[in-house]
Structure 1
Amino acid sequence: MARKFFVGGNWKCNGTSEEVKKIVSVLNGGQVPSPDVVEVVVSPPFVFLPEVKNSLRPEFHVAAQNCWVKKGGAYTGEVSAEMLHNLGIPWVILGHSERRAILGETNEFVGEKVVYALSQGLKVIACVGETLEQRESGSTMEVVAAQTKAIAEKIKDWSNVVIAYEPVWAIGTGKVASPAQAQEVHNELRKWLAANVSPEVAASTRIIYGGSVNGANCKELAGQPDIDGFLVGGASLKPEFIDIIKSAEVKKSA
């Protein structure tokens, strides 16, 4: 089953109004494959979501970097899925390792967030990944499977879910999982989905890679059979993000 290449840009806690305008200008002027070949979603900080959504070329979409697990109410500082849907924001990133590590979000909490966001009409980029200590101890798949299981136990329809495998040791460090390392985990994740959810979900769900992806390494990574795209951090703020989007052509030609 063909899976459309997916490139997400996570801007994290970066940007001023002027910087955001420059990034959007680069994206709007970039020559990239057609929407039939690649789906592009960028994720600015909350305060810039409406501005970016309204100024970005129509075939590019936006994602929030998080949302709350319940309907709005007495939750100071949170943003609800209902609010995002009301603004016409189609995507949300959930379970990013920075939130797991800094804010203590558990697998179960992330699973609850995913199912609630889906119930409110959002599409979800669900992040999973192991720390360096966990990789060195040989427990990568145990960790990633547990994170995925917490989501799989709560949802029935996977059509609006993209899994982002982001090894924590590769995020913002300049270290990148080798194409073989990334492919191995993606393949094992797909096998886990086939065994624990269904072969159909395993075949159709996009599993993207995140962790120091840049213009220099994206093509080799994109050539791996089970890597369906990227969730890009720092490089999504730079012109080379266009080159990363173009790596979808590698998958198309394969």
Structure 2
Amino acid sequence: MRRKLAAGNWKMNGLRAGLSEMQALAEAHATPTVDILLCPPATLIAPARVTLGGSPIALGGQDCHAETSGAFTGDVSAEMLKDAGARAVILGHSERRDLHRETSEEVRLKANRAQAAGLMTVICLGESAFQREATNTLDIIGAQLSLSVPDSSTGENLVVAYEPIWAIGSGQVPSPEQIGEVHTFMRARLEHRFGSGVGRSVRLLYGGSVKGENAAEIFSIPDVDGALVGGASLKAADFSPIVTALEEA
């Protein structure tokens, strides 16, 4: 039985003062029946771990380097994230693929390193509006899934997040049928590659303009095991209803 996961990506937002939002979320969900993961900027991981104390809320990074250490000014390794208190890392987010020109091959190298360091990898996939209009969605997702996910992946160290680029921050959400088509496709691909055991145990998240108002409908779609949430994860008042909807799904 896959345990549901509500993951929040703070992106390049948040200072120490914002840790009060994490505290409020922890108080609202002291004994959650789903997993909760918050991924703040790397500068906040260590103080966030102190703020959360014994809370079951896990922390993650938003990216990592493919090497353990070296002359890579400004980069952060998977081992550094874990040392700071992270248990997971987001990799291959569309903003990294677009703005930093990251390839799926580079994402796989990072994921290999992160999994070897003991971090759960949340690997993001998604098509652009042009690719969606060209009815090329499943080809794009299939290629990204094949090239981005390492052979070392298991149901414990891999989460896959489908985030259509055109839905991120736009207020637009694919139809339940569109989301369901992609998630069913990803599940079948994972089962074919890793076998039914691992393939069925990997959690599949949806991301892209998820809010408290539409969360319940999204979570009712087969093979949607939770959400990767952006802006709505910054405030406890916005993220908490999403967590509650997932608990009730």
The TM-score bracket by the shorter chain reads: over 0.9
User: What's the TM-score once normalised by structure 2's chain length?
Assistant: 0.94
Cα distance change on mapping 1:48 and 1:175 into 2, 3 Å = same
- Who is 2:8 aligned against? 9
- Whether contact under 8 Å (1:222, 1:250) holds in the other structure is no
- Distance in 2 between residues matched to 1:167 and 1:187, nearest whole Å: 15
Cα distance change on mapping 1:153 and 1:65 into 2, 3 Å = closer
- Who is 2:163 aligned against? 166
CA distances 1:194-232 after superposition (whole Å, capped 9, x unpaired): 222212222111000000000100011111121000000
Matched, 1:49 2:45: yes
One-letter amino acid matched to 2:66: V
Per the TM alignment, residue 22 of structure 1 is displaced from its structure 2 partner at its CA by 3.0
- Who is 1:107 aligned against? 104
- Who is 1:58 aligned against? 55
- Who is 1:217 aligned against? 214
**What root-mean-square deviation, in Å, do the aligned CA atoms of Structure 1 and Structure 2 show?**
1.5
Give the 5 Å matches for 1:28-39.
28-31=26-29, 34-35=31-32, 37-39=33-35
- Whether contact under 8 Å (2:126, 2:163) holds in the other structure is yes
- Who is 1:117 aligned against? 114
Which segment is superposed worse, 172-181 or 39-48? 172-181
Matched, 1:250 2:248: yes
- Whether contact under 8 Å (1:23, 1:237) holds in the other structure is yes
Give the 5 Å matches for 1:42-191.
42-56=38-52, 58-152=55-149, 154-191=151-188
Matched positions, count: 247
Which segment is superposed worse, 77-86 or 228-237? 77-86
One-letter amino acid matched to 1:202: G
- Distance in 1 between residues matched to 2:154 and 2:27, nearest whole Å: 36
- Distance in 2 between residues matched to 1:99 and 1:235, nearest whole Å: 20
Q: Secondary structure at the match of 2:172?
A: coil
- Who is 2:239 aligned against? 241
Amino-acid identity (%): 40
- Distance in 1 between residues matched to 2:175 and 2:28, nearest whole Å: 28
One-letter amino acid matched to 1:175: Q
One-letter amino acid matched to 2:221: Q
- Distance in 2 between residues matched to 1:156 and 1:66, nearest whole Å: 17
Runs (5+) with no aligned partner, structure 1: none
Matched, 1:40 2:36: yes
CA distances 1:27-68 after superposition (whole Å, capped 9, x unpaired): 123147x44x30000011111111112112521010001110
One-letter amino acid matched to 1:21: L
Which segment is superposed worse, 98-107 or 135-144? 135-144
Runs (5+) with no aligned partner, structure 2: none
Per the TM alignment, residue 158 of structure 1 is displaced from its structure 2 partner at its CA by 4.1
Give the 5 Å matches for 1:196-215.
196-215=193-212
One-letter amino acid matched to 2:49: K
